[in-house]
Amino acid sequence: MTEATVERIRLFLIESPIKMARLQGVGNVKGTVKRVLIELTSSDGAIGWGEAAPWEVFTGTPEAAFSALDIYLRPIVLGKPVRRIRALMAELDRALVGHAEAKVAIEMALLDIVGKSSGLSVADLLGGRVRDTIPLSFSIADPDFAADLERMRKMVPDGNVIYKVKTGVKPHREDLDHLEAIRKEFGDKVDLRVDYNQALAPFGAIKILRDVEEFAPTFIEQPVPRKYLDVMAQLTAALETPVLADESCFDRRDMMEVVRREAADAVSIKLMKAGGLFEAQAIMAIADIAGLPGYGGTLWEGGIGLAAGTQLIAATPGISLGCEFYMPHHVLTEDVLEERVANRAGHVVVPDGPGLGIRVSEASVRANARVIAEG
C-alpha cells in the first residue's frame, strides 16, 4: 500500500477584528489580530488544518511566520509522508532555527490529517483522553475595568468562575482597587488569578506581590522579566501564593532550568511557545516529575489553534489548572470555523470528532485573508 504524502499546501495570512482592546503588560492589542492558517492536502485527498499565532512582543510576527512557512518550510514538507510526523518535525528544526509557531501549525495539520484518516481524535493520537472538558479562564484585560466587571456579572451566573487579572500595566494602587472590587462583589465564588506578563522590576517586586496576596489569588503569573530567573526563584520561595512561569519557560531546556532553580510552582503550556503538541507533552513530562501543574495558555489563536490546544490538554493529565481559550467566543468578532468549539457551564468542551474535531469555513477564511499562497 502506497503511503500518503503531502501533495498541496495553502497558506492564509488573516486579520480578524476584535471586540475589545487588551492591556497585556509587555504589549497591548486593539482593533485586529493577525495569524496564519495552513491547509495541507495529502495524496489520498485528506485535508488537515493548522494555525500559527505569533505575537510580536512575545515570539515573533505573523508575517515572519507566513514567510517561514512559504519560503523555507514548504519545500521540505511537500512530498513527505503524512504519518511520519516526528521525523518531519526534526527535519524542520534542522532546517530553520526558531519559528515555533510555524512549525506547530504544520504539526497540527498533519495530526488533523492522520486523525481524520484513522477515525481518531488528536487526543487519541496523543495517548487518549483523561478529561472531556476543561475549566475556562477569562482574562480581565480591558482598559475599561468597568466593562470587564460587567462581563463578569453576566458570566459568573453561567458557571464561568476563573478570572485572570492582567496586572502591572496600570498603577499598583489601581490594580489593588480592581482586585478588591472583584472580591467584594463575587467573594470566593470566583477563582482569582493575576498575571504580570513580566511587568515588574525585580527591585520592590516582593512588596507589590505581598499586597496582591491579600486577595488570595490561585497563582501569580510571570511577575518579572524572563531573564531574571533567579529573582523568580526568590519570589517563589518568599511568597505563599504559587508562582507560575510563562515567558520563563518556552521549551524543555527552560523547563529543566525552572525545576533546577525552583523558580516556579507551576507552568503555562502554550503551543505557540513549544512549537509542537509532542514538544508540549515533553515539557509537561518534566514538570510532572517535579510536581509542577500546567495551565493552558494562549496568545491570539482562533478556533483551529485552540481546538489543537483542547486536544493536547485532554490527553495530558498534568495540565490541570484550566485554560484561557476564550478568544473565539469572547474577543473575535468572527472565527473561521463553521461551529465554534463549544463552551458549557464555564468549561471548554473538547471536540470528539476525528482529527481536531472541527470544520473550517472556506468563506470565512477567504473573507479574513490578507495574503494567500497556494502550491
Residue whose cell numbers read 475595568: 145
What is the pLDDT averaged over residues 310-324? 98
Residue 199 CA neighbour count, 13 Å, CB half:
22
Kindly state the DSSP code that residue 61 receives in the 8-state scheme.
-
Active site residue 3: no
HSE on the CB side for 167, CA within 13 Å? 30
pLDDT of 206 strictly over 90: yes
In the chain, the N- to C-terminal Cα span, in Å, equals 26
Confidence band for 26, pLDDT divided at 50, 70 and 90: low
CA 293 to chain centre: 16
Express each pLDDT in 253-291 by its tens digit. Answer: 999 999 999 999 999 999 999 999 999 999 999 999 999
Residue 166 known to be catalytic: yes
Give me the pLDDT at residue 329, please. 84
Q: What is the pLDDT of residue 16?
A: 87
pLDDT band at 1 (very low <50, low <70, confident <90, very high): low
- Beta strand 6-17 with 243-245 is unpaired
Q: Are 148 and 170 in contact (CB under 8 A)?
A: no
Residue of 101, 279, 301, 324 marked active site:
324
Residue range 236-262: mean pLDDT, rounded: 98
Q: Is the separation of the CB atoms in 329 and 136 below 8 Å? A: no
How is 71-101 classified by DSSP, letter by letter? IIIHHHHTT-BTT-HHHHHHHHHHHSSS-HH
More confident call, 31 vs 353 = 353
Residues 73/101, Cβ–Cβ less than 8 Å: no
The confidence score (pLDDT) of residue 23 equals 66
User: Which residue type sits at 106?
Assistant: I
Residue 56 clears pLDDT 90, i.e. is over it:
no
Question: How far apart, in whole angstroms, are the C-alpha atoms of residue 294 and residue 305?
Answer: 18
**Burial status of residue 325 (CB atoms within 10 A of its CB: 0-12, 13-18, 19 or more):** buried
Q: What is the DSSP letter of 22?
A: E
Quote the longest CA-to-CA distance of the chain: 67
Report whether pLDDT(207) > 80.
yes
In one-letter notation, the amino acid at residue 338 is E
Query: pLDDT value at position 271?
Result: 96
Strands 6-17 and 369-374: antiparallel
The pLDDT assigned to 159 comes to 96
For the chain, count helices (H), then strands (E): 14, 16
Does the structure show a pLDDT above 70 at 219? yes
Residues 174 and 171: their CA atoms lie apart, in Å, by: 5
Q: Give the residue from 180, 161, 186, 139 showing the smallest Cα distance to 297.
A: 139
Which one is predicted more confidently, 327 or 209?
Answer: 209
Helix (H) or strand (E) holding 115: helix 100-118
Read off the pLDDT of each residue in 47-53 and give the average, rounded to a whole number.
97
CA nearest to 303, candidates 334, 328, 331, 271: 328
* pLDDT for 375: 77
List domains and CATH numbers for the chain: 5-119+361-374 (3.30.390.10), 125-349 (3.20.20.120)
pLDDT at 22 over 70: no
- What SS3 class is residue 117? helix
CB atoms within 10 A of CB 190: 18
Residue 147 and residue 20 in contact, taking contact as beta carbons nearer than 8 Å = yes
**Which of residues 306 and 32 earns the better pLDDT score?**
306
- d(Cα 342, Cα 352) in Å, to the nearest integer? 11
Mean pLDDT estimate for the chain? 94
Q: What Cα–Cα distance (Å) separates residue 82 from each residue in 40, 77, 111, 137?
A: 10, 9, 8, 34
**Catalytic-role residue among 80, 103, 116, 166:** 166
User: Does the model's pTM come out above 0.85?
Assistant: yes
Percentage of the chain exceeding pLDDT 70: 97
Judged by average pLDDT, the poorest of 2-11, 17-26, 125-134, 311-320 is 17-26
How confident is the model over 100-139, as pLDDT tens digits? 999 999 999 999 999 999 999 999 999 999 999 999 999 9
Q: Which of 296, 311, 321, 298 is nearest to 349 (CA)?
A: 311
